[in-house]
Amino acid sequence: MGKYDYVIVGGGTAGCILANRLTEGGKYNVLLLEAGGPPRSPWIKIPAGFSKLLTNETYNWRFESCPEAGTKERVIAIPRGKGLGGSTLINGMIYVRGQPGDYDRWLDEGATGWGWQNVEPYFRKLENFAEGGPSRGNSGPMYLERVKERFSISDAFLEAAAEDGQPFNEDYNEAEQEGVGYYQVTQRNGQRWSVVDGYLKPALGRDNLTVLTGSRVLRIELEGTRCTGVTYERDGKRETVAAVGEVVLCGGTVQNPQLLELSGIGNPDVLAKAGIEPRIELAGVGENYIDHYATRMNWRVRNTITLNEISRGLRLTKEVLKYFTSRKGILTLGTGLVHGFVKTHSTLSSPDVQFFFVHASYANAATRVLDREPGMTIGVTQLRPTSKGSIHVESADPEAAPSIKPNMLATKQDCQTLVDGMKAARRIIEQPAMRHFVEHEMTPGKEVQSDEEWLEFARENGQTIYHPIGTCRMGGGEEAVVTPSLQVIGVENLSIADASVIPVMVSGNTQGAVMMVAEKAADLILDRAK
């Protein structure tokens, strides 16, 4: 049986960061276990390649939700990155810190030491944003760039937003988030920059880091209430490895609660129903599941060429040549071009809705097939949803996917905010600056006018935008799973450090917050070892 100071379960966003930070002093031996493989696809480095990878079983676990009444009994895709780099291999690369108030809300949840003043230095530590001001990091491992491509229709959208009273905000990651502008993305010189690039590759040459891919962890080993290691399967063989210091779970919001429950840690009723012997009672495991739910509003446009047409035939050939000779063009684009952080009511103290504008429209969003005629899309999401769901095992079989019940649009606040956000998006598009480009609204269509009709459209057509958090919530109260120091309550030598510990949603895309959590987690773990 192998023995290490630290065993990290999961080589995704947080796992790669911890592998770097826990080994950089040379003092501790670290094992990183990842069920997927190394990032070998040529599509990974090409930003537009996300559309090829998002449905690829090699790089995506391809989880799905259970049908629920609130979303018209639809099965909704829950993508999660698979392989070294995790979701940073397949996501839209959008980088958002969130609002300072988000982290002060973490304090309200009992997450002592995680307020804005505590976490802001970690954002600066990870960032390498040459275009940023003094409050931004410019020497960290994660390269960031502002979307560089400019189009007449996206500039017109910014003008229309100004006509609607929305401020222009060049850097939504500084003091104020509110406004519109061009997104910041995890890229370097027009190529995707994942945590493998920023954190793992610099650490791979260290003698004190061992990385095993194709290694699926089956259970956490316990002696009473003490975690002693994990058992994993690799190449058809089962191995048990010991952790002298800690086992750190970085499997993410879906798979952390699954592994805890498979190991007998969780709600005894849930475990018994799945045929698992309860070992340690921890009622909050798998609860507090929160995600961003979004609708896509589409317009048919004119007097411009959109990605729908550019991504075909001779135009696409030219774009491919442009990208490989200059790292420019449409292949540098991810899921968002122009951002909008908007208040749906002037009385609000901060934005409550986020827009993702892009001059493209899907004929089939599930398969990422674009329309053939020119179109544009605004994705609309509520920044801080209050609806909560759950993720639990239904079987003792580690190969069986857990039951994911998002419970989207379960509160009146979530429903009304999303409806008001869609109304605001339509209002901006109806401003004079967009008249030259807009032919007609395709979805939901101008016939949708009442709040009831807007909500029905959202329930029938919305999707998550892949920001699941919270199933191993940190803080206080009965549903807390980890302490503010990220140690699993009631279990010695077991910690969790990724999106699953986030107690309440941050205002925007979550990859920045997850990187911050991992950076701070490394300091907490190393401080305990002193």
* Full pLDDT tens readout for the chain, 530 residues: 689 999 999 999 999 999 999 999 999 999 999 999 999 999 999 999 988 898 899 999 999 999 999 999 999 999 999 999 999 999 999 999 999 999 999 999 999 999 999 999 999 999 999 999 999 999 999 999 999 999 999 999 999 999 999 999 999 999 899 999 999 999 999 999 999 999 999 999 999 999 999 999 999 999 999 999 999 999 999 999 999 999 999 999 999 999 999 999 999 999 999 999 999 999 999 999 999 999 999 999 999 999 999 999 999 999 999 999 999 999 999 989 999 999 999 999 999 999 999 999 986 666 667 888 999 999 999 999 999 999 999 999 999 999 999 999 999 999 999 999 999 999 999 999 999 999 999 999 999 999 999 999 999 999 999 999 999 999 999 899 999 999 999 999 999 999 999 999 999 999 999 999 999 999 999 999 98
The candidate with the shortest Cα–Cα distance to 500, out of 474, 463, 529, is: 474
CATH assignment of the domain containing 450: 3.50.50.60
Quick one: which of 416, 412, 438 has its CA closest to 427?
A: 438
Whole-number Å distance between alpha carbons of 258 and 256: 5
Is the distance from CB of 301 to CB of 309 less than 8 angstroms? no
What phi, psi does 181 have (nearest 5°)? Answer: 170, -165
Which amino acid is located at 218 in the chain? L
Rg (CA), the chain: 22
- pLDDT for the residue 27: 96
| Reduced 3-state DSSP string for 41-71 | CCCCCCHHHHHHHCCCCCCECCEECCCCHHH
Burial 189-211 (b: 16+ CB within 10 A, else e): ebbbbbbbbbbbeebeeeebbbb
Q: What confidence score (pLDDT) does residue 512 get?
A: 98
**Number of domains the chain contains:** 1
- 292, 339, 359, 467: the catalytic one is 467
Catalytic, 467? Answer: yes
The amino acid occupying position 430 is: E
Look at residue 451 in the predicted model and tell me its pLDDT: 98
- The pLDDT value recorded for residue 425 is 98
The pLDDT value given to residue 51: 85
CB atoms within 10 A of CB 398: 16
Tell me how far apart the alpha carbons of residues 462 and 408 are, in angstroms, rounded to a whole number.
10
User: By C-alpha distance, which of 370, 462, 387, 455 is closest to 420?
Assistant: 455
Domain extent at residue 273: 2-529
At 175, the amino acid letter reads A
